[in-house]
Amino acid sequence: MFKHLRRRLTILFSVLTAAVLAAALTATCRMAQNEAVSGADLVFANTVSAIEDAVTENNLVRDSWLASQEAAGRLVLYMEDNGHPLVFSGGWTPADERATLVALAREQAVSAGLNPDRLHRQKVNFSLNGAQLSGSYTCTAMLLPSEQTSSAVLLYIIRDMGPLHDRLWIMAWQYTALWAAGALILAFLSHWMVDRALRPTAQAMQKQREFVAAAGHELRSPLTVLKASLQAAQAPETAHLAPQFLSHAASEVDRLSRLTEDLLILAGGDAGVLRTSLAKISTDTFLVELYERFAPVARNHGHSLTLNLPNKPLPDLHADAQRLEQLFAVLLNNAFEYSPAGTPVEILAELPPSGGLHIAVVDHGPGVPDTEKSRIFDRFARGDRSRTDKTHFGLGLAVASQIASLHGAILRVRDTPGGGATFVVEWRNNHVLDRSSFS
């Protein structure tokens, strides 16, 4: 499912970003082409003005100067002085014959409004059109009368548009190549971003599948025992053992109840609907009561339980006392059951120099290997994978970590000096209450 979703989102984002890039580059290309056309038109206009001034102000225009103007502007110049054409071979060779270009210019200039019979200054601009032409041309035709005589100079300045058109096409292809390269880069980035965005969801879905599978496996065992015990209690041949079978069934019901409660806590935490009754609690009082409640449990398991508090009063907590007791019950029961009999267990409260509050449960058992420290808070994880008894589901530390998160705390594990494991619930400054604010 995620593979298909990833592909569709990648295609969608690639198309959208490529479309936006295409629109931006198209607008930029149009602006650049318009600037190129405007620049070329301005150069042509200046050249026309220079030629016009040279013809009207000087009695003699050198062929070398005309040739340089032609070659620089890709122009074809033709002049008639009082009906007599100027003999000028040109400064370059256009793609079409000069005579053809001039003939079309003479013909189409009249259509554009030039009247050679009227001796006053005239100027028209037009495009040369002809099926016989292989290139694209524009023309400026001028009639420049002499102020001293009744004669006039007829001037045709034919401009080859091929170089400008080639330049515009090159610009278009450059921007197209730029778009193609950008679209490929954006497609790669879209794939990378979609993959990164979906990765947490995919991991969460995978964990959810593993969680459901593990939960089903854990539920199957007590249900099987429960069904078998009830069937045996009802069978005539084992009726005399019915109290024993019913006792087994009751034990399995208790197991199911504990497992269901743990699953509800984890599911409620995932959904953000786990209810807590937060109130200000005295941390010193809570720890003393916790010690008094679990000291007999520790003795039954062959351990001594101690409570170690700092000399300074501990800050109050904004917490759910019942949930908090459930958290430390998990840590203490794990310490009692996994530590060898006769080893001490300690409840330790610390005030770090940086502020906040640490409450730890310290044991001197086998400890937690470094390779397991990153996974013992996972659901259905057991510190000892070879353990096969049915008293543990591998949910205790996951539940404890969930309750810690609900209280703005972090549950960590570290090695106990000399051997063992120390589980620490860490609160930072913004999650503890200063007693002085309530005095």
Between 58-67, 256-265, 341-350, the lowest mean confidence (pLDDT) is in 256-265
Number of folded domains in the chain? 2
State the pLDDT confidence band at 287, using cuts at 50, 70 and 90. Answer: very high
Q: Is residue 416 part of a domain?
A: yes
Q: Is residue 352 part of a domain?
A: yes
Q: What is the chain's Cα-based Rg?
A: 47
Model confidence pLDDT, tens digit, residues 347-386: 999 998 888 899 999 999 888 888 888 778 776 655 444 3
Residue 217 pLDDT exceeds 70:
no
Q: Rounded mean pLDDT of 43-63?
A: 84
Helix (H) or strand (E) holding 122, with range, is strand 122-128
290 and 164 belong to one structural domain: no
At 230 the pLDDT is: 80
At 210 the pLDDT is: 61
Q: Is residue 346 part of a domain?
A: yes
At 265 the pLDDT is: 64
Residue at a domain's end among 168, 191, 218: 168
Residue 288 pLDDT exceeds 70:
yes
Residue 435 pLDDT exceeds 60:
no
Cβ atoms within 10 Å of 242's Cβ, excluding its own: 15
163 and 283 belong to one structural domain: no
% of the chain beyond a pLDDT of 70: 82
Residue at a domain's end among 117, 142, 168: 168
Q: Specify the higher pLDDT residue, 430 or 108.
A: 108
* Structural domain of 16: 2-168
State the pLDDT confidence band at 240, using cuts at 50, 70 and 90. Answer: confident
State the pLDDT confidence band at 7, using cuts at 50, 70 and 90. Answer: confident
Model confidence pLDDT, tens digit, residues 389-399: 444 446 778 88
160 and 283 belong to one structural domain: no
SS3 345: strand
List strand residue ranges (DSSP E) for 241-374, in order: 279-281, 305-308, 316-319, 345-350, 357-362
Residue at a domain's end among 145, 168, 191: 168
At 378 the pLDDT is: 76
Q: Is residue 142 part of a domain?
A: yes
Model confidence pLDDT, tens digit, residues 183-202: 999 999 998 988 888 888 77
Q: Rounded mean pLDDT of 422-435?
A: 75
Which sign does the torsion angle of CA 42, 47, 48, 50 carry?
A: positive
% of the chain beyond a pLDDT of 90: 42
d(CA 47, CA 215): 88
Residues in Cβ contact with 184 at an 8 Å cutoff, skipping those fewer than 6 apart: none
Please state, rounded to an integer, the average pLDDT across all residues of the chain.
83
